[in-house]
């Protein structure tokens, strides 16, 4: 089976219990749609676990993207510009501290391994499961941009704002994280949102809600409290 989860945000316990709940095995594939690090305590621990699993496919969220940029500087400082200082201030106020501390505690080879792993994270994946196509990314920009993929930067797959009330594609289901589903529609508080050929799976695990996961073969939903 093929599964997707997102916005684990350092919740290692929920992550491992989710793998148990779906009986995750070598036959399965799990797409992690970004924001694995920050806010919660154990983002680095989760990444190191994901690294060991060849059937876990990592995508990039805004938090992973920023963490990678700044953590690289701790290994190879280069020139620290005002821009970088602003970015790090932003990172630390937006949940970067536990990620920074855990990274600092790694050995040099572990740091190197982790940074090169994070550098491979996809911005999106366009896949087929059974006869259904899925477009997986941390988030997507507005519909007009998505219809002309040449017109925008890849970064909009980590910071864009989806239009949840629009059907982007008739032949594909978009699967994203990034925005806790309660903010899309209160009715979906702590639950996976499905409408308009869009499935939004960030249920807000790090804010005390369940970690949600969807099976792309069956569209069955799984939750761990």
Task: Provide the minimum distance between the beta carbon of 185 and Mn ion in the complex, in angstroms, as a whole number.
Answer: 18
- Determine how many CB atoms are found less than 10 A away from the CB of residue 119: 10
| Binding window for Mn ion (CB under 5 A); candidates: 29-37, 109-117, 189-197, 205-213 | 29-37
Residue nearest Mn ion, Cβ-based: 178
178 binds Mn ion (CB under 5 A): yes
Of 62, 99, 176, 209, which lies in the binding site for Mn ion, with binding defined by CB under 5 A?
Answer: 62
| Binding window for Mn ion (CB under 5 A); candidates: 27-35, 45-53, 94-102, 128-136 | 27-35
| Binding window for Mn ion (CB under 5 A); candidates: 61-69, 73-81, 122-130, 193-201 | 61-69
Total of residues contacting Mn ion (CB under 5 A): 4
Distance, in Å, from the CA atom of 223 to the CA atom of 211, rounded to the nearest integer, reads: 6
Closer to Mn ion by CB, 35 or 42: give it. Answer: 35
DSSP class of residue 142 equals: -
162 binds Mn ion (CB under 5 A): no
Q: Are the beta carbons of 129 and 2 closer than 8 angstroms?
A: yes
9 binds Mn ion (CB under 5 A): no
What residues from 34 to 53 belong to the interface with Mn ion (CB under 5 A)?
35
Task: Provide the minimum distance between the beta carbon of 42 and Mn ion in the complex, in angstroms, as a whole number.
Answer: 17
Locus of tokens 């994280």: 177
DSSP class of residue 2 equals: E
Distance, in Å, from the CA atom of 119 to the CA atom of 57, rounded to the nearest integer, reads: 13
Task: Provide the minimum distance between the beta carbon of 178 and Mn ion in the complex, in angstroms, as a whole number.
Answer: 4
Closer to Mn ion by CB, 61 or 141: give it. Answer: 61
- Determine how many CB atoms are found less than 10 A away from the CB of residue 65: 21
C-alpha of 205 from chain center: 12
Q: Up-side HSE of residue 88: CA atoms within 13 Å toward CB?
A: 12
Closer to Mn ion by CB, 2 or 62: give it. Answer: 62
For 42-95, the DSSP string reads -HHHHHHHHHH-TTEEEB--HHHHHHHHHHHHHHS-----HHHHHHHHHHHHTT
Helix axes 97-104, 82-93, angle to 10 degrees: 110
60 binds Mn ion (CB under 5 A): no
Of 10, 61, 96, 162, which lies in the binding site for Mn ion, with binding defined by CB under 5 A?
Answer: 61
Closer to Mn ion by CB, 62 or 137: give it. Answer: 62
Residues forming contacts to Mn ion in the complex (CB under 5 A) are 35, 61-62, 178
């Amino acid at each position: 089976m093929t599964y997707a989860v997102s916005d684990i945000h350092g919740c290692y316990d929920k992550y491992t219990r989710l793998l148990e709940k779906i009986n995750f095995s070598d036959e399965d594939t799990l797409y992690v749609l970004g924001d694995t690090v920050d806010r919660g305590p154990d983002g680095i621990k989760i990444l190191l676990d994901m690294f060991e699993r060849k059937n876990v496919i990592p995508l990039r969220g805004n938090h992973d993207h920023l963490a990678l940029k700044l953590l690289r500087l701790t290994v190879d400082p280069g020139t620290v510009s005002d821009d970088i200082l602003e970015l790090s201030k932003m990172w630390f106020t937006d949940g970067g501290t536990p990620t920074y501390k855990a990274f600092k505690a790694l050995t040099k080879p572990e740091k190197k391994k982790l940074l090169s792993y994070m550098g491979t994270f996809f911005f999106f994946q366009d896949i087929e499961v059974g006869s259904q196509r899925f477009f997986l990314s941390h988030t997507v920009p507005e519909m007009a941009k998505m219809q002309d993929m040449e017109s925008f930067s890849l970064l909009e797959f980590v910071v864009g704002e989806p239009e949840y009330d629009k059907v982007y594609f008739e032949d594909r289901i978009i699967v994203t994280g990034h925005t806790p589903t309660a903010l899309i529609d209160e009715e979906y508080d702590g639950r996976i949102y499905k409408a308009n050929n869009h499935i939004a799976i960030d249920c807000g695990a790090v804010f005390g809600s369940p970690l949600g996961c969807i099976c792309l073969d069956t569209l069955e939903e799984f939750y761990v409290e």
